[in-house]
Amino acid sequence: MHPSITMESLPVITPAGEGEQLAFFGEQVTIKISGEQTGGAYAVCEFVAPPGAGAPPHLHEREDEVFLIQSGTLRILANNQWQEVGPGDVVFAPRRQPHAYHNHGPAACRFWLMVSPAGFENFYRELSVDARERTEPDLDALRGICGRHGIRLLE
């Protein structure tokens, strides 16, 4: 058990269609369970990535990520090679290991992302605010946001 989750912690139920809604560069992200609700142990987000969306090669200094693909397909960079994943596939992206994803398919890809420890959902919150006026990232602003959250862009 994570040290901040105690026997007194309360269960959390986030119904389908609910959660904190965010958007950036065409992707929709719903924070389903936040670090505030898990004592910092982890966060769970639901993504809808339209065709062409994705994250460039990068690594996290602090967090491990688990992707669970629900529908559609993604190309995932793992172990220095691109691999296609689809419904039911699970990908573990450990901290300090380069990874990326891209939806090259004709339809949106829906996937769940679990991040541990929590706190990375604050990156999505900040990115969502920064992206409100743009459809393409401002690379200088993006690098600053990434740096504040322990992410290193590799391109």
Summarize pLDDT for 38-77 with one digit per residue, the tens: 989 999 999 999 999 999 999 999 999 999 999 999 999 9
Q: Residue 96 falls within a domain, yes or no?
A: yes
Q: Residue 93 falls within a domain, yes or no?
A: yes
SS3 of residue 110 by DSSP? strand
Q: Residue 28 falls within a domain, yes or no?
A: no
Predicted confidence at residue 94, as pLDDT, reads 96
Compute the distance between CA of residue 49 and CA of residue 41 in angstroms, rounded to an integer: 25
pLDDT at 11 over 90: no
- What are the Cα distances from residue 17, in Å, to 21, 46, 65, 98? 10, 10, 22, 32
Structural domain harbouring 133: 39-153
pLDDT at 7 over 60: no
In this structure, what CATH number is given to the domain that contains residue 80? 2.60.120.10
pTM of the model: 0.86
Q: Residue 2 falls within a domain, yes or no?
A: no
Please name the amino acid found at residue 111. Answer: F
pLDDT at 114 over 70: yes
Q: Residue 53 falls within a domain, yes or no?
A: yes
Q: Residue 23 falls within a domain, yes or no?
A: no
- What are the Cα distances from residue 104, in Å, to 9, 34, 48, 49, 70? 41, 29, 13, 10, 16
Look over the chain and give the mean of its residue pLDDT values, rounded to a whole number.
88
Q: Residue 137 falls within a domain, yes or no?
A: yes
Q: Residue 19 falls within a domain, yes or no?
A: no
Q: How many domains, the chain?
A: 1
Compute the distance between CA of residue 18 and CA of residue 89 in angstroms, rounded to an integer: 24
SS3 of residue 133 by DSSP? helix
